[in-house]
């Protein structure tokens, strides 16, 4: 027997108004009355998951799938599995869902989103396309499709979908930001007037941040450097004023990393994996994506993208329950953890996230510079490459790039002096690793790579234990998806446009220059 339609409709109405307690009570009652009906069991799982009890919700949805293996249920199950970092299980659920696809737009969009979270952007595109076909007026579905098309390099199609998106919703800030960054804007084809109008209509919050960045980028493309920087500075100052960020928090993390190293270095390592992943680390926007593309152009290497696998493995090993992945408490606790287990956990996460592929892989999460000690001990065969860029270009590039707004990793990036202080501690930590891990980390200059592409590429490959391959010089022909802000740049041959950009903004950077001089950082 099945639950009455009116009963199911009441549960869905409670979910729609986000009254998860009522939805759970109604669903639980329906499950008790109709234990063999999949729909109330599924809705019970969704109510529990949305209320924050995701693992309990997963158990209910798994039960629903056993009763009725429909695609819509499996799509939501995969989404919940991703939320609790069960990437391998999510991939298996998606494979099963492909055999009985959801018939609704939300189900197909959900499948696309999970594929994207797994780094499988090409696989996400057909699902996003179908979601748009089924719900042509849904702006969010258009955005997801446009972003996926950008990641796989189909820029013309991404722009067409993006234009359709802002026609549906002229104030869709993420859509405007995506369109601005798809290509270099020209005097003949740009969105400056449209962006200025959207910014004038925007209220406070993330919309103004996204639109401000988009407008600044397009003005810069048009050669209006000072106007672009003024817009960027105003946008960042407005956002920074809303953040509770203090550099002292980041400083405490750096201090803890250095303080616990003697303990990490002295801890015996048991059962460490012998695989040799390549970690590409450094400050963001310093060439990490470029080097990742060079390495993954080698026939023996593939790119796993920017993984959170090492931060999560360290967090799990630490046993701390703090809300942040990286904090002083976690670093202190992880120093006494089983390092071999960290290495094994890392590889399990990396392999399940990116899909099972043979051979060596790269992990280009820049923030892994804070985990270099754990990497060196937990993965003794791994190699590490750290990108270094001119300090002022590094500061400027971090200031100009909008990172994931919700991520606390990047709260330092909205103020020039916050970035300068962060860079100084990064620079000091790299000097620390240079002494603590001799020979393990290749520090590669972005400017040096631009000036001597072949020579530095040979040095890079040699450090990573790879034989020379000419394909690494043609990295721009690499067809693998790119899901970072450098997507457009790395599809071009090597260029010098980004070298010494700081000189155009010397006056604005004067306080940073003075600070670096005090810190003994050469510019």
Using one digit for the tens of pLDDT, what is the confidence trace for 264-318? Answer: 999 999 999 999 999 999 999 999 999 999 999 999 999 999 999 999 999 999 9
Residues 442, 385: contact at Cβ < 8 Å? yes
Same domain, 284 and 399: yes
Three-state SS for 302?
A: strand
Which sign does the torsion angle of CA 485, 488, 490, 496 carry? negative
Position 88 in a domain:
no
pLDDT band at 352 (very low <50, low <70, confident <90, very high): confident
Is the pLDDT at 492 greater than 90? The verdict is: no
- Neighbour-count burial for 496-507, b at 16+ CB within 10 Å, e otherwise: eebeebbeebee
Same domain, 393 and 324: yes
Same domain, 353 and 378: yes
Position 225 in a domain:
yes
pTM over 0.85: yes
Query: How buried is 227 (Cβ within 10 angstroms: 0-12 exposed, 13-18 middle, 19+ buried)?
Result: middle
Which sign does the torsion angle of CA 466, 472, 475, 479 carry? negative
Position 23 in a domain:
no
Position 185 in a domain:
yes
What mean pLDDT, rounded, does the chain reach?
94
Q: What is the CA radius of gyration of the chain?
A: 24
Domain boundary pick from 215, 242, 269 = 242
Residues 127, 108: contact at Cβ < 8 Å? yes
Same domain, 203 and 282: no
Residues 523, 512: contact at Cβ < 8 Å? no
Q: What is the pLDDT of residue 204?
A: 85
**485 against 228, higher pLDDT:** 228
Number of folded domains that form the chain: 2
Q: What is the pLDDT of residue 328?
A: 97
Q: What is the pLDDT of residue 57?
A: 97
Same domain, 370 and 485: yes
The whole-number average pLDDT for the span 500-513 is 95
Same domain, 339 and 468: yes
Is the pLDDT at 484 greater than 60? The verdict is: no
Domain boundary pick from 183, 217, 242 = 242
CA angle 204, 206, 209 (to 5 degrees): 90
Same domain, 206 and 284: no
Its domain, for residue 268, covers 247-519
Spatial separation of the C-alpha atoms in residues 298 and 463, rounded to whole Å: 14
Position 176 in a domain:
yes
Spatial separation of the C-alpha atoms in residues 343 and 331, rounded to whole Å: 16
Spatial separation of the C-alpha atoms in residues 308 and 353, rounded to whole Å: 10
**Which position has the token pair 């409709």?**
9
Same domain, 258 and 235: no
Same domain, 333 and 232: no
Position 456 in a domain:
yes
Is the pLDDT at 495 greater than 90? The verdict is: no
The whole-number average pLDDT for the span 239-252 is 96
Is the pLDDT at 208 greater than 80? The verdict is: yes
Domain boundary pick from 188, 221, 242 = 242
Same domain, 213 and 282: no
Is the pLDDT at 28 greater than 60? The verdict is: yes
Is the pLDDT at 171 greater than 80? The verdict is: yes
Is the pLDDT at 61 greater than 60? The verdict is: yes
Structure tokens at 187: 């005097």
pLDDT band at 493 (very low <50, low <70, confident <90, very high): low
Share of the chain above pLDDT 90, in %: 88
Q: What is the pLDDT of residue 358?
A: 79
Position 100 in a domain:
no
Check which CATH number belongs to the domain holding 329 and give it. Answer: 3.40.50.300
pLDDT band at 488 (very low <50, low <70, confident <90, very high): low
Three-state SS for 173?
A: helix
Three-state SS for 487?
A: coil
- Nearest C-alpha neighbor of 468 from the set 477, 478, 455, 452: 455
Position 45 in a domain:
no
Same domain, 275 and 294: yes
Same domain, 443 and 465: yes
**Which position has the token pair 């048991």?**
270
Q: What is the pLDDT of residue 479?
A: 63
**Which position has the token pair 């891990």?**
437
Residues 190, 222: contact at Cβ < 8 Å? yes
Is the pLDDT at 468 greater than 70? The verdict is: yes
Q: What is the pLDDT of residue 3?
A: 73
């Amino acid at each position: 027997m099945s639950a009455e339609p009116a009963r199911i409709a009441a549960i869905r109405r409670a979910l729609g108004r986000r009254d998860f307690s009522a939805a759970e009570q109604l669903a639980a009652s329906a499950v008790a009355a109709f234990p063999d009906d999949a729909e109330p069991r599924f809705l019970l799982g969704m109510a529990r998951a949305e209320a924050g009890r995701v693992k309990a919700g997963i158990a209910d949805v798994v039960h629903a799938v056993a009763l009725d293996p429909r695609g819509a249920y499996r799509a939501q199950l995969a989404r919940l599995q991703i939320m609790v970092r069960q990437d391998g299980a999510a991939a298996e659920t998606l494979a099963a869902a492909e055999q009985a696809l959801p018939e609704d737009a939300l189900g197909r969009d959900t499948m696309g989103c999970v594929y994207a979270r797994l780094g499988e952007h090409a696989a996400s595109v057909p699902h996003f396309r179908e979601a748009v076909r089924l719900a042509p007026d849904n702006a969010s579905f258009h955005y997801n499709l446009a972003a996926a098309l950008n990641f796989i390099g189909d820029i013309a199609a991404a722009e067409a979908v993006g234009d359709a998106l802002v026609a549906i919703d002229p104030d869709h800030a993420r859509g405007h930001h995506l369109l601005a960054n798809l290509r270099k804007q020209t005097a003949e084809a740009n969105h400056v007037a449209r962006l200025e109008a959207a910014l004038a209509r925007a209220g406070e919050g993330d919309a103004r941040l996204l639109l401000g960045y988009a407008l600044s980028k397009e003005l810069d493309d048009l050669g209006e450097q000072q106007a672009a920087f003024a817009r960027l500075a105003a946008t960042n100052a407005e956002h920074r004023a809303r953040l509770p960020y203090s550099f002292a928090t980041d400083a405490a993390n750096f201090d803890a990393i250095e303080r616990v190293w003697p303990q990490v270095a002295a801890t015996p390592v048991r059962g460490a994996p012998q695989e040799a992943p390549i970690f590409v680390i450094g400050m963001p926007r310093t060439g990490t994506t470029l080097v990742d593309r060079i390495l993954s152009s080698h026939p023996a290497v593939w790119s796993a993208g920017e993984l959170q696998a090492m931060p999560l493995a360290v967090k799990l090993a630490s046993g701390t329950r703090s809300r942040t992945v990286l904090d002083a408490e976690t670093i202190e606790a992880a120093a006494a953890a089983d390092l071999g287990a960290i290495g094994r956990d890392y590889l399990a996460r990396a392999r399940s996230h990116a899909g099972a592929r043979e051979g060596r892989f790269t992990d280009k999460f820049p923030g892994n510079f804070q985990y270099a000690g754990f990497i060196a001990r937990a993965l003794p065969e791994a190699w590490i490459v750290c990108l270094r860029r001119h300090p002022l270009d590094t500061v400027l590039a971090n200031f100009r790039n909008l990172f994931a707004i919700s991520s606390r990793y990047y709260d330092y990036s909205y103020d020039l002096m916050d970035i300068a202080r962060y860079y100084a501690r990064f620079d000091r930590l790299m000097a620390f690793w240079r002494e603590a891990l001799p020979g393990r980390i290749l520090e590669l200059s972005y400017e040096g790579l631009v000036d001597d592409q072949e020579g530095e590429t040979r040095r890079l490959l040699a450090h990573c234990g790879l034989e020379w391959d000419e394909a690494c010089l043609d990295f721009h022909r690499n067809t693998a998806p790119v899901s970072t802000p450098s997507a457009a740049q790395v599809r071009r041959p090597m260029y010098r446009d980004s070298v010494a950009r700081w000189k155009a903004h010397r006056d604005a950077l004067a306080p940073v220059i003075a600070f670096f001089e005090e810190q003994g950082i050469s510019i």
